[in-house]
Amino acid sequence: MVPEETRTPTRPPEIRPSTGSTAPATSLSRAWTTRLVVAGIVLAALNLRPAITSLGALLEEVRGGLGMSGSVAGLLTSVPPLCFAVFGVTAPRLARRFGPAAVVCAGMVAITAGLAVRPYIGGTAGFLAASALALMGIAVSNVLMPVIVKRWFPDRVGSMTGLYSMALALGTSVAAAATVPMTDALGGDWHAGLVVWAGLAAAAVLPWILLVRARGTDPDTGDRAPATPPDPAPCATQPAAGTTALAGDSVPAPTLAPEPTTASPIHGAKPLGTPATRPAPGGLRITRSRTAWALAVFFGLQATAAYITMGWMAQIFRDAGVAASTAGLLLAVTMVMGVPLAFVIPRLATRLPRQGPIVVVLGLCGLAGYAGLYLAPAAGAWAWALLLGISNCAFPLALTMVGMRARTGAGVVQLSAFAQSTGYLISIPGPLLVGVLYQHSGGWGLPLALMAGLMVPQIAVGILAGRDRTVEDEAAG
């Protein structure tokens, strides 16, 4: 572009017709691709939990069909956080090599394949392996969805995170509520009741295939403007700030070419210095940040509560004399609470300097729900389901705090990967321990005491994670 200016002083009049003729096509392409990204995000989010909640609704039938003990069933409910921890940490590296969109597309394919084969593969080991395949796809998508949201919608992270969280909660609740009725409609065969969710996953593959083929989703692998030099930092290094523009990006290229003036659109405008915007080659030392550790532990404890709820709550109600279909509906009510609250909580959190008060309210709801399940599981079933549904909305709060506790795009992706991977590692023993306690105690008193006990440290570390500070400042200090 500079050589053209040097060669002819009359460049602006000469290129105006050309620019005018290509701008509508470029704008149309951007609008179409943006709509496709939104559809892909929503469909992907819908598929991030049915593999788990559909199994929770039919856990008793699956245990009987495969001959599982309570301890083995506990191991089965611990597979999701294990896979999220093991495979989620690989997501940034895969995204660097292939691009976030291609990795999410592959993740949707893995979910489809795993859900399609696991009911019919035969035996407990095969069921676990097929479940792990589906959960592998969920794991990488879990990590990269916030990255794609922040890359494509840097000025609407709060609303898009709310949309993503609402779709995730909707998929979770629909799978919990509809699995048992669909199983009954299909002749009472739990194999058929589980395999139907592969169809929803297959639908989510389509927009991501189109986006990868269009090469318009990933600013690091897609078509760049001719004047844009190759980006030396792969997409996993700065995936969330939206600092690199594409022909298909939803934000005009001139606003994305320089470094951003806002580190986290969730938190608000904060000036960035050169050291924070372009981290040293060694990267951010995330483990030196107390806030990062607090957020990781908070993420792990809320994930523990969530996966215990998804895996065992329906069984708690069934053991209390509640019908299977009603127990599935109660689980769905717990999950569906995340639909409206996942949109409200991120917006409320971004308006508060500290998120501790929200953490306390959610934790108290959880404690009340567990107490109710112990004292009157059947009599107050709907109230306990509502309270635990509110408590489980610590997940969108944790996602929101990931964006608020980092100043740069590189910091967001490192914090996201660290908090989620470490958090899911922390959450692995919880569902397994619940299964062991349930089998050996013959009731739900000890498991519920464990769940309530874990809520206390969750509140404590959540208050620490909600303080108004950034991991870059703490790591540098």
Lowest mean pLDDT of 119-133, 223-237, 290-304, name the range.
Answer: 223-237
CB 262 within 8 A of CB 268: yes
Kindly tell me the burial class for residue 321, based on how many C-beta atoms sit within 10 Å of its own C-beta (0-12, 13-18, 19 or more). Answer: exposed
Using DSSP, state whether 204 is helix, strand or coil.
Answer: helix
Residue 283 confidence class, pLDDT cut points 50, 70, 90: low
pLDDT of residue 267: 36
Q: pLDDT band for position 197 (50/70/90)?
A: very high
Q: Where are the alpha helices (DSSP H) in 376-444?
A: 381-391, 394-404, 409-427, 429-441
Higher-confidence residue: 8 or 230? 8
Please name the amino acid found at residue 333: V
| Residue whose tokens read 């593959």 | 205
In this predicted structure, the answer to whether residue 10 has a pLDDT above a threshold of 60 is: no
How far apart are the C-alpha atoms of 185 and 214, rounded to whole Å?
A: 40
Examine the pLDDT at 261 and tell me if it is beyond 70: no
pLDDT for the residue numbered 26: 52
Percent of the chain clearing pLDDT 90 (strictly above): 27
Q: Please identify which residue in the block is written with the tokens 């760049």.
A: 224
Quickly count: other Cβ atoms within 10 Å of residue 102's Cβ: 20
More confident position, 112 or 142: 112
Please give the pLDDT value at position 137. 92
Residue 400 has pLDDT above 50, yes or no: yes
Mean pLDDT, residues 173-190: 86
pLDDT for res 477: 65
Is pLDDT above 60 for 262?
Answer: no
Q: Residue 243: what are its φ and ψ, rounded to 5°?
A: -90, -10
Residue 3: band (very low, low, confident or very high) from pLDDT cuts 50, 70, 90:
very low
Pairwise CA distance, residues 305 & 333, whole Å: 16
β-strand partners of 201: none
What pLDDT does residue 27 have? 52
> Residue 143: which of 464, 460, 416, 443 has the closest Cα?
416
Q: What is the mean pLDDT of residues 146-168?
A: 78
The residue among 358 and 158 whose pLDDT is bigger is: 358
The answer on pLDDT for 4 being more than 60 is no
Euclidean distance between CA atoms 155 and 112, whole angstroms: 32
Average pLDDT value for residue range 54-70: 80
Q: Which of 146, 100, 111, 102 is nearest to 299 (CA)?
A: 146
Q: Please indicate whether residue 57 or residue 197 has the higher confidence score (pLDDT).
A: 197
Distance (Å, whole) CA 96 – CA 94 = 5
Q: How confident is the model at residue 329 (pLDDT cuts 50, 70, 90)?
A: confident
Please tell me the least confidently modeled range out of 133-137, 214-218, 426-430: 214-218
Mean pLDDT of 173-200: 88
Averaged pLDDT, 280-302: 84
- Average pLDDT value for residue range 295-320: 90
Q: What is the mean pLDDT of residues 190-214?
A: 90
Query: Which is it for the CA torsion 66, 68, 73, 76, positive or negative?
Result: negative
Measured CA distances, 453 to 48, 156, 420, 430, 459 (Å): 28, 37, 22, 12, 11
C-alpha 398: how far from its chain's center?
10
Q: Which residue has the tokens 């298909």?
A: 248
pLDDT of residue 222: 40
Which residue did the predictor score with more confidence, 258 or 51?
A: 51
pLDDT given at position 78: 76
Confidence check: pLDDT of 248 > 80: no
User: Is the pLDDT confidence value at 430 over 70?
Assistant: yes
Please check whether residue 178 is in contact with residue 322, taking contact to mean a CB–CB distance below 8 angstroms: no
Mean model confidence pLDDT for the chain: 77
Give the model's pLDDT for residue 331: 85
- The DSSP element (H or E) to which 343 belongs, if any, is helix 338-350
Average pLDDT over residues 149-178: 80
Say if residue 132's pLDDT is above 60: yes
Q: Which residue has the tokens 């009157």?
A: 376
Per DSSP (E only), the strands in 191-301 are: none
Tell me the average pLDDT across 390-398.
Answer: 90
